[in-house]
Structure 1
């Protein structure tokens, strides 16, 4: 990796004789540590992530390379460290509406490193060490208008002996995770990425959190170097080629959090770090958000919602199983064989079951013609559609086929969530991005599918033999 200048200690104990701007960031339990370094040859900055066992520091990730290219300015190998902030204790405590735990609490130590580039433009790196992982983000504090982000230079250098489980990139995030060790296939990969740290006797999961409309979704790519995973922007072809692949930001601005959960496999499964660093909800009333099981006819009958009698049978199934909901999937707008949507809803309500209903998110961004579609594309059309659903006594929507994580599509996701909240409608995204912590900001977001799930038993015969291994890996890769 070449000669480096170190801005951190090499042991797990703070040494007050070291200048304050050279102290590492350490987790509250003193078992994780991040040190900042500058490569003396090429000048770029990177973070090394360590675990600490019995006062011995072991490297988890040797180099997390930092930086962005903004308009024509580099913020990477031309940065000068101006100062390091004092350590700031972070405590987060909140109640979730659903998920692996309702009561959430986490603590971290936070440090901000203030840089300027060769043009004297300021650039901040905010680093947090939690007991269950590292998070960091970039920030531009100046108010200087609109800027195009040409590339994010963040990358994770993985030790060559580490094992990994990664899903080849696909826009629906409905693939199978592949196990690799030493010989890494070079391509684009989905989040989260699971790695076993060969030199630190632990596991880590790479992800991102608190993504919003000021940026695009990213993915992992090791196309340039087998064991270096850089964050990559969406492919220009995604979403039928609509929307810009590179995001435009307005300063002051802070990036999504880059997240590395670290620990045992049980730590990765139990961690809520992605939600913990995400923006708290602004909703004051969440009593209407009620998680629960639903009957669903699509799995056994792909065109079941077209058939009034099938819809009624699945309402009866929800009654029999004591499930609160039934989901009407695609083609409810073409329902026949004894009744239409209005008559089906009357039957469902008479049984004491709450209906949920499906929509195609398209729009020109998807070539999938499944209906109903073209009803949620604008704020005005959503207000009209959601008001109708409210009158019909529908409790939530399932929205499908997004096919892109470009900035315009991230904005579309969040606009749906905001408008749905106005009508107290719960939301389930399908054919979509993986969870990024939105369920904290928008607690009526019940789930994002983004997984090769049970519908694939019907879709292709190959999944039957893939499923046993796939289902065993998912608890650890899904977080």
Structure 2
């Protein structure tokens, strides 16, 4: 280990003088080190990446990342010849988004491009960036002509078995549970993104994902079926989407792959990172003034066929009005609405209350077995233009499109077609039964949120979620919600088909912990009307977009406390997964601005899981707040500056 460290540092010091056997690229803050190993830079040989992280000393966190691509015409893997590498150049990302965990994004990286050729003299470039919070790399075919099939991508992450990991078994809807494992408990199967790992010495965390996926490729997943300690990128299964579409992507030169992304650092650095967006293509939208995030009332969770019923639609419109939420969603079956009115009557009622409607669509086509209507209206460009023209006239602000069931290249094109056509009509979009975020919201800021999570809807699918939700909820802020908006449809107090085991305080905290620009509050109206004024007011006021995010405390599967800022105000949410112990947490407020006093409203668990406790305090950055959590409990705190 010490010898490896010396070699790495020697190569860094001598970068400008000569190439070492390891090409080294450090992050601007010098904490992350990427090494590209080539067997012999003057001859043919295998190349791979190594990743190290500097805390008090340099530790190797990923000993080997296999590289290579098998194209339909030839092999770009084992017999690559190194040609040259560029000098490092500094990448500075600074941009703004109208939503997300941060409004202003800033990140820096050092980048090199390494040039190879195979025995046929065909060219392959490897572009590597080492950011302050991770590394990214992508392949490039620079030649100007040719169309090919990618038969396989050989990218594979070798992870020591001692590393603890949190992984979700692969499923096309990305709606499974995360499970932790290490050592002899590791399973061999296919896995969803993102995948979280903790180094064996506990000092470093890293999250595997991909970003800037576009029309030129398919989505990938991870598989350790061949080697238990190596997670290889794999293409979609051919049987996905009822066998429609091709699992292997077709490319035309010149071509670049999606970025392969490893977010690296402390657990707080993982949670706060925007690396997936940082490396994605900036938007070409001329304006995003029409993109309006906000809270939504949603009738499906409590009334499966709710949108068929005009009176239920009106009740949820009234709920949005009472709670100062700008939107209500008309979910499936709005085309069969009855019991006092039809769609046009409902839209008229919604608009009369100053609320904006959102509407659900089945993605349609042969790729989905789901017959729910309306179906096929998003399927072709002609269909979409006709439908979006109608929706614009009807004053509909956004559409929810469901049941994609594949990450093949044709489905990636379908997602992006919907986003591009909707943008022409200034209509916002969100996806359900769908892909995990890949950075598209930076490119298409009308993409408000994604499902791709086992959310509150699963209380209706069986009894298992009642017992698994407390732990699941404490894992999501460190995994799925790190990489993009997550439509969990949270904050439900009453029971649907199966009951909660979480406390009311736990449920309320999800409004802060789970980030989504469209935040669908899923409970029935009486679930919110029965709340004490303090809790009700919190749900009226809590934002759905943030200027800053900070992890205060937590560990996946145990508990999490997170603070988010909007303007000068902070909101804190915390939950516990503990089945046995009540917790007492002391929350340091050292992240607050110097010299400002804040009015803190603390809403925490009460005497039992359906009760709250309340306190109002005057605090500043030198203070701490003590909060008690019941088993599976939670709390929220609002911190509003006091004008003196």
CA contact (8 A) 1:218 1:231 kept: yes
- 2:145 aligned residue: 144
Instruction: Give the total of aligned pairs.
Output: 473
- What does residue range 178-189 of structure 1 map to in structure 2 within 5 Å? 178-183=179-184, 184-189=186-191
* 2:232 match: 230
Deviation at 1:341, TM superposition (A): 0.2
Map 1:390-409; keep pairs closer than 5 Å: 390-409=392-411
Q: Is the 8 A contact 2:44 2:79 kept in 1?
A: no
Hey, what's the Cα distance between the residues in 2 that align with 1:17 and 1:228? 34
- 1:36-185 equivalent positions in 2, closer than 5 A: 36-38=36-38, 43-54=45-56, 56-183=57-184, 184-185=186-187
Q: Which structure 2 residues correspond to residues 463-478 of structure 1 after superposition, within 5 A?
A: 463-478=465-480
1:465–1:33 Cα change, 3 Å: same
Q: Secondary structure at the match of 1:309?
A: helix
User: TM-score with structure 1 length normalisation?
Assistant: 0.96
The answer (yes or no) to whether the contact 1:59–1:199 under 8 Å persists in 2 is: no
Q: Per-residue deviation at 1:454?
A: 0.7
Displacement, 1:53? 3.3
Task: Please give the TM-score of this superposition, normalised by the length of structure 2.
Answer: 0.72
Distance in 1 (alpha carbons) for counterparts of 2:55 and 2:302: 51
Q: 1:308 to 1:12 in 2, by over 3 A?
A: farther
Larger relative contact order, structure 1 or 2 (CA cutoff 8 Å, min sep 6): 1
Q: Any gaps of 5 or more consecutive residues in structure 1?
A: none
Write the distance in 2 (CA, Å) between the matches of 1:12 and 1:287: 49
> CA distance change for structure 1 residues 16 and 126 in 2, over 3 Å: closer, same or farther?
closer
Cα displacement (A) at 1:11: 5.8
- Alpha-carbon distance between aligned partners in 2 of 1:36 and 1:10, rounded to the nearest angstrom: 14
**Residue number in structure 2 paired with 1:282:** 284
Match of 2:217 in 1: 215
Q: Which deviations, in whole Å up to 9, do the C-alpha atoms of 1:378-434 show, x marking residues without a partner?
A: 111100011000011000000000000000000000000000000000001011000
Instruction: Indicate if the aligned counterparts of 2:12 and 2:24 stay in contact, CA closer than 8 A.
Output: no
Cα pair 1:12 1:52 within 8 Å, conserved: no
1:427 is matched with which residue?
429
After TM superposition, the structure 1 = structure 2 runs for residues 373-384 of structure 1, keeping only pairs within 5 Å, are 373-384=375-386
Larger radius of gyration: 2
Q: 1:300 — aligned with what?
A: 302
Task: Give 3-state SS (helix, strand or coil) of 2:225's partner.
Answer: strand
Q: Could you tell me which residue of structure 1 aligns to residue 345 of structure 2?
A: 343
Aligned to 1:32: 32
SS at match of 1:144: coil
Matches of 1:16 and 1:456, distance apart in 2: 54
Following TM superposition, by how much is the alpha carbon of 1:42 offset from its aligned partner in structure 2, in angstroms? 10
Q: 8 Å contact 2:124–2:139 — kept in the other structure?
A: yes
Asked whether the equivalents of residues 51 and 200 of structure 1 are also in contact (C-alpha less than 8 Å), the reply is no
Name 2:548's counterpart in structure 1.
Answer: none
Q: Runs of 5+ in structure 2 lacking a partner?
A: 483-644
1:318 is the counterpart of 2:320: yes
